């Protein structure tokens, strides 16, 4: 089979043949298609990158039609069931599961960075008590950049790994401190002998009325939730990480940009929006009226739909399963019954079936987080903590990819042609007139 495509430009009757690799053509090949020799040449127009591959990657594979998700070739269900978050984080960053020695080194490398400067605590004290935790997380990660100038040497592998260890080590601390600040509680330092998810819960709940939530079953549930959220190929926040990282901005600033993208309700902010939606629906009796409103375009069924998955998001299935182990400790969060009824009704309604809208990762996660004592405005922070591993793996792959350079899309200009400035715009005259009119 000849791996090429041939197109005919009907404007000129000319034919062009392009090589096909991985079922794609290079967009730059389109520039050969011209009407006149000195034309710029053809571009592809793809708002929101619906059909554009921005990179080649070995990290995560998704088959949206079959509902498949794999990190470095391992199925997400196997990883969630048999591994810990730090082991899977190592896999996503390094490409292989760690040997016991590598795991010990990895844990030690992250642990020595599980601390933050007193200046950062003072920086965080500047936020109002009701500041949104994602605003605190985004700005504090960016602020960390000012403490580690060596991170700017992004081409050095040693510095890349140093920044990766620092960010993975510090993001749960910043997340927990943001919560403690909002509650007027003192900061709790991480313990050297606790696991990653366990330490986060320790920093959140120790010496607080929710101390009882420091429970091994809940820590393992959080560990699994962290695994499920690590990476998801070229999603909106990863695209932000790669775009900002492509300018050689340091990984702290790039991670802050990615976290900012995640905060949007169409992306990682959806888990918080789902709880708000369930609270507004209130009871099963109100579901038909809500679904009617969605079908009339008045609102969205948050936690449903996905750009890639046109089948059940495999993560949603596993999160629903994890809920039962959490509820055995915390008691059943009744909102899961409302959510499951909402899912049942939606999945039997042609509006959702015809658009292939299924529950995504955000549909059930918030219900578990709430049962574990977390408030809705913390949910996206819980998404950002593990996703920082995915962002950093994607960033490192970008920096080390010889094909990549600074991201700079083109545009289709549809504005005015050149036009003369109105005579009234003579420098100085307008200022006089304006000054007069303001008195
Ligand atoms: C995440 O990309 C990733 O991988 C993201 C993520 C990750 O791990 O990084 O998986 C995490 O962000 C999950 C998505 C969380 N967001 C939500 O749950 C918000 C609600 N979902 C929608 O906003 C929407 O489904 C998106 C944003 C997720 C996907 O949007 P698309 O692919 O641009 O699809 P679309 O908006 O063009 O929708 C296609 C049709 C439209 O109807 P028509 O115009 O054809 O009549 O489906 C409808 C939409 O109106 N639709 C919905 C809907 N989602 C899509 N209708 C009601 N409720 C919804 N949730």
Would you place residue 87 in the very low, low, confident or very high pLDDT band (cuts 50, 70, 90)? very high
**Using CA atoms, how far apart are residues 180 and 200, in angstroms rounded to an integer?**
12
Q: What is the mean pLDDT of residues 394-417?
A: 98
Task: Clarify whether residues 140 and 8 are in a common domain.
Answer: no
Specify the pLDDT at position 433.
61
Q: What is the mean pLDDT of residues 403-409?
A: 97
Has residue 302 been placed in a domain? yes
Residues whose CB is less than 8 angstroms from the CB of residue 432 and which lie 6 or more positions away in sequence, other chains included? none
Q: Which one is predicted more confidently, 428 or 43?
A: 43
Cβ of 258 below 6 Å from ligand 1: no
Cβ of 362 below 6 Å from ligand 1: yes
Q: Please state the domain count of the chain.
A: 2
Specify the pLDDT at position 425.
86
Task: Clarify whether residues 282 and 319 are in a common domain.
Answer: yes
**Which of 223, 231, 313, 362 is labelled catalytic?**
362
CA dihedral 386, 387, 388, 393 (to 10 degrees): 110
Task: Clarify whether residues 295 and 393 are in a common domain.
Answer: yes
Has residue 437 been placed in a domain? no
Closest Cα to atom 52 of ligand 1:
300
Indicate the range of 44-48, 232-236, 312-316, 427-431 predicted with least confidence.
427-431
**pLDDT for 439 beyond 90:** no
Task: Clarify whether residues 27 and 150 are in a common domain.
Answer: no
Specify the pLDDT at position 437.
60
**Using CA atoms, how far apart are residues 160 and 241, in angstroms rounded to an integer?**
14
The separation between CA 288 and the C-alpha centre of its own chain, rounded to angstroms, equals: 31
Task: Clarify whether residues 123 and 211 are in a common domain.
Answer: yes
**pLDDT for 142 beyond 60:** yes
- Mind listing the pLDDT tens digit for each residue in 284-293? 999 999 999 9
CB atoms within 10 A of CB 311: 15
**Using CA atoms, how far apart are residues 196 and 385, in angstroms rounded to an integer?**
11
**pLDDT for 41 beyond 80:** yes
Task: Tell me what percent of the residues of the chain surpass a pLDDT of 90.
Answer: 94
Has residue 144 been placed in a domain? yes
Has residue 408 been placed in a domain? no
Specify the pLDDT at position 424.
84
**Which of 94, 113, 215, 267 is labelled catalytic?**
267
- Mind listing the pLDDT tens digit for each residue in 359-376? 999 999 999 999 999 999
Q: What is the mean pLDDT of residues 255-263?
A: 98
- Mind listing the pLDDT tens digit for each residue in 228-253? 999 999 999 999 999 999 999 999 99
Helix (H, G, I), strand (E, B) or coil at 432: helix
Specify the pLDDT at position 123.
96
**pLDDT for 399 beyond 60:** yes
Give one word for 95, left, alpha or beta, with left for phi > 0 and alpha for psi -120 to 50.
Answer: left
**Using CA atoms, how far apart are residues 71 and 230, in angstroms rounded to an integer?**
9
For residue 193, give the nearest of 88, 84, 107 by alpha carbon: 107
Task: Clarify whether residues 211 and 254 are in a common domain.
Answer: yes
Active site residue 215: no
Task: Clarify whether residues 356 and 237 are in a common domain.
Answer: yes
Helix (H, G, I), strand (E, B) or coil at 385: helix
Specify the pLDDT at position 428.
74
**pLDDT for 430 beyond 90:** no
H or E stretch at 5: strand 4-9
**Which of 306, 313, 350, 417 is labelled catalytic?**
306
Task: Clarify whether residues 23 and 100 are in a common domain.
Answer: no
Active site residue 362: yes
Domain that holds residue 147: 58-402
Q: What is the mean pLDDT of residues 103-129?
A: 95
* pTM of the predicted model as reported, rounded to 2 decimal places: 0.95
Task: Tell me what percent of the residues of the chain surpass a pLDDT of 70.
Answer: 97
Closest Cα to atom 22 of ligand 1:
305
Specify the pLDDT at position 435.
63
Would you place residue 427 in the very low, low, confident or very high pLDDT band (cuts 50, 70, 90)? confident
Task: Clarify whether residues 339 and 273 are in a common domain.
Answer: yes
Residues whose CB is less than 8 angstroms from the CB of residue 40 and which lie 6 or more positions away in sequence, other chains included? 31, 34
Has residue 99 been placed in a domain? yes
From ligand 1's centre to the CA of 307, what distance in Å?
6
Specify the pLDDT at position 423.
87
Has residue 414 been placed in a domain? no
Q: Which one is predicted more confidently, 436 or 238?
A: 238
CATH code: domain of residue 396? 1.10.580.10
- Mind listing the pLDDT tens digit for each residue in 157-191? 999 999 999 999 999 999 999 999 999 999 999 99
Specify the pLDDT at position 360.
94
Has residue 24 been placed in a domain? yes
**Using CA atoms, how far apart are residues 321 and 324, in angstroms rounded to an integer?**
6
Has residue 393 been placed in a domain? yes
**pLDDT for 438 beyond 60:** no
Cβ of 302 below 6 Å from ligand 1: yes
Q: What is the mean pLDDT of residues 407-422?
A: 96
75: its two tokens: 């199925």
Task: Clarify whether residues 19 and 145 are in a common domain.
Answer: no
Task: Clarify whether residues 238 and 306 are in a common domain.
Answer: yes
CB atoms within 10 A of CB 150: 11
**Using CA atoms, how far apart are residues 175 and 170, in angstroms rounded to an integer?**
9
Cβ of 232 below 6 Å from ligand 1: yes
Specify the pLDDT at position 275.
96
Task: Clarify whether residues 204 and 79 are in a common domain.
Answer: yes
Active site residue 229: no
Residue that is written with structure tokens 């020595």 in the block = 112
């Amino acid at each position: 089979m000849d791996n090429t495509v041939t197109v005919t430009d009907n404007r000129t009757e000319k034919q062009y043949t392009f090589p096909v690799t991985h079922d794609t053509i290079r967009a730059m090949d389109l520039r050969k298609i011209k009407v006149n020799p000195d034309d710029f040449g053809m571009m592809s127009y793809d708002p929101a990158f619906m059909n554009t591959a921005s990179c080649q990657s070995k990290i995560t594979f998704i088959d949206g039609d079959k509902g498949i998700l794999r990190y470095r070739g391992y199925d997400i269900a196997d990883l969630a069931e048999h591994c810990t978050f730090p082991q899977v984080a190592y896999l996503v960053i390094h490409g292989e599961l760690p040997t016991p020695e590598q795991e010990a080194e990895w844990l030690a490398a992250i642990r020595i960075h599980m601390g933050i400067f007193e200046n950062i605590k003072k920086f965080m004290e500047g936020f109002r008590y009701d500041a949104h935790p994602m605003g605190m997380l985004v700005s504090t990660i960016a602020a960390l950049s000012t403490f580690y100038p060596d991170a700017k040497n992004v081409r050095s592998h040693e510095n890349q790994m140093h920044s990766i260890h620092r960010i993975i080590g510090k993001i749960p601390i910043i997340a927990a401190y943001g919560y403690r600040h909002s509650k007027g509680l003192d900061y709790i330092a991480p313990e050297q002998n606790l696991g990653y998810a366990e330490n986060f819960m320790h920093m959140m709940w120790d010496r607080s009325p929710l101390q009882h939530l420091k429970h091994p079953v809940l820590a393992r549930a959080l560990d699994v939730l962290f695994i499920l959220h690590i990476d998801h190929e070229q999603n909106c926040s990863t695209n932000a990480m790669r775009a900002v990282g492509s300018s050689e901005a340091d990984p702290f600033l790039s991670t802050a940009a990615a976290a900012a993208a995640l905060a949007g309700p169409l992306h990682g902010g959806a888990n918080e929006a789902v709880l708000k939606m369930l609270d507004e629906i209130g009871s099963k009796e109100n579901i038909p009226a809500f679904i009617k409103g969605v079908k009339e375009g008045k609102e969205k069924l948050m936690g449903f739909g996905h750009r890639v998955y046109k089948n059940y998001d495999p993560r949603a299935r596993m999160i629903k399963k994890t809920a039962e182990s959490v509820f055995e400790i915390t008691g059943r969060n009744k909102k899961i019954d409302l959510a499951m009824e909402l899912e049942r009704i939606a999945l039997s309604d042609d509006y959702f079936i015809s658009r292939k809208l299924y529950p995504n990762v955000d549909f059930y996660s918030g219900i578990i987080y709430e049962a574990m004592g977390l408030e809705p405005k913390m949910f996206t922070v819980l998404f950002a903590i593990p996703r920082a591993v995915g962002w950093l793996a994607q960033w490192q792959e970008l920096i080390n990819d010889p094909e990549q350079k600074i991201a700079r899309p083109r545009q289709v200009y549809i504005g005015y042609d050149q036009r003369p400035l109105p005579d009234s715009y003579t420098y100085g005259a307008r200022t006089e007139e304006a000054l007069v009119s303001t008195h």
